[in-house]
Amino acid sequence: MSPPMIEFLQDRLYLSAFDAPPSKEKHPHLRFFTVDDLLVYHAFHMDFGPLHIGHLYRFAIILHEILSDPDMSAKPIVFYSRTDARSRANAACLLACYMVLVQNWPPHLAIAPLAQSEPPFMAFRDAGYSQADFCLSIQDFVYGLWRAKEAEIIDIKTFDLEEYEYYELVDKGDFNWVCPRFIAFASPVQSGYTTKANPFKKAQAVSATFQHVLDYFSSHSVGMVFRLNSHLYDKSHFEKQEIEHIDMFFEDGTCPELDVVKTFIGLTEEMAEQDKVVAVHCKAGLGRTGCLIGAYLIYKHRFTANEVIAYMRIMRPGMVVGPQQHWLHINQHHFTEWSYTGAIKKRQPQSAVFCTPPRPVLGSLDDNTTEARVFEKGERAEMLPAPTPGQPRKAPMGRLQVVNNENTVDELAEPTDKISPRQASGRYGELGKAVAGRIASRESPRRKVSRDVAVTPRSVSTSSTVGGGVRKSSGKQKRL
């Protein structure tokens, strides 16, 4: 009897889970392999995954070696894990992410085979030690990785596995590239450093770990370092390398004010214009660091909060902890709004040349000294904009009303900035002159004025509001 399996590639690639390693003698027509003891996630506290980008790269190498083996060309390949919930979740997430990043599958197709799993796959939690109240599904990681791939901030072809595994070590600098624009790292520590001036104390030597960071940053176009925690080193070491150093302190485990985020995004954009890299750290380079980098990625690349947290944890495990997850989720629309607002402002000068040139505002009717034009029958009607079907006709120049026998005129309604070009076209030109000539013959809807009295408008204000209507818009398990 064949074990239950989830099919990814028909007759070629399957996912499964076993209490014990499957027997080759019982299933000689299948090729089994697992990475449970080879690719191990090192937990911070209560977290258990997912496996990071280095693990994903190694998994791809292992799988490709099996696929390219001539002896395996006719055998279905079964990637399996142990049956505990955590192992199953890590294996499923690893395979789905591989299909998106390496095989270029769209995310919905990579997730579809997992929907048939029973029981469902366990959700992933943060690296904190308290009860998890914000969890991420495999779908979040798949879509986060896909979003990064579409934004071209991750490319498995240019990924340097040796560098990743070397510099992620604590004694080698404990830093990771989150994307081509950001490096996230733990705070360097300078032994015996104090912020208090002490003329009798000699300057402490830079540790080997700190020196790894300085050397790498100076050779990889890092232009700015953000320190989000208290001072544990002398910032002049970065400044000597011509790296600008910015302090943006907020308490460990807390979330930044939105003004701080705006400043961070603005400075990062300045570095981007100079083609410089930004390095960010807090104490561990996880929580506070993830807040600001995540906010920028939402702002710049339209990630959702879940997607950006998931993506950052693939690039640097443990990023964004506890209430910081909720903070990103709550404020993600602010970051997106800032992005759209900025984009609109940049496009306005470009599109202005295609707009109708502005015309001078119509002054008081007393200033129109030209002789009023007399319209032939039906001529004025042809000049007016066509009315919207089912709605009252809108007067392009507003309603001119004679108020009393002293021959004053009410305010001339001027459309707001949101008036359509069709409505605005009626404010000026011959139509304005026509109204000036014909207003003497109009009757006020509020009070009758004797036709024998010559009505001379004295003052016209150009402030009113034009209203507008609102339209309501309205897989199965397989046995081999």
Say how far apart CA 317 and CA 168 lie, in whole Å.
10
Question: Taking CA 124 as the corner, what is the angle to CA 290 and CA 299, rounded to the nearest 5 degrees?
Answer: 35
User: In which residue are the tokens 């239950």 written?
Assistant: 4
For residue 389, cis peptide bond before it (omega within 30 degrees of 0) = no
Say how far apart CA 124 and CA 143 lie, in whole Å.
15
- Of the candidates 51, 37, 146, 48, the one whose C-alpha atom is nearest the C-alpha of residue 93 is 51
Question: E-assigned strands of 43-197?
Answer: 77-81, 175-179, 182-186
Cβ neighbourhood burial of 441 (10 Å; 0-12, 13-18, 19+): exposed
Say how far apart CA 307 and CA 318 lie, in whole Å.
14
Catalytic residue among 93, 282, 291, 355: 282
Q: How many CB atoms lie within 10 A of CB 120?
A: 13
Question: Taking CA 432 as the corner, what is the angle to CA 427 and CA 435, rounded to the nearest 5 degrees?
Answer: 120
Say how far apart CA 185 and CA 281 lie, in whole Å.
5
365-380 as b/e: b if 16+ CB within 10 A: beebeeeeeebeeeee
Tokens of 82: 């142990």
Residues in Cβ contact with 222 at an 8 Å cutoff, skipping those fewer than 6 apart: 183, 243, 276, 277, 278, 279
Specify whether 179 is catalytic.
no
277-282/182-186 β-pairing: parallel
| Catalytic residue set | 282
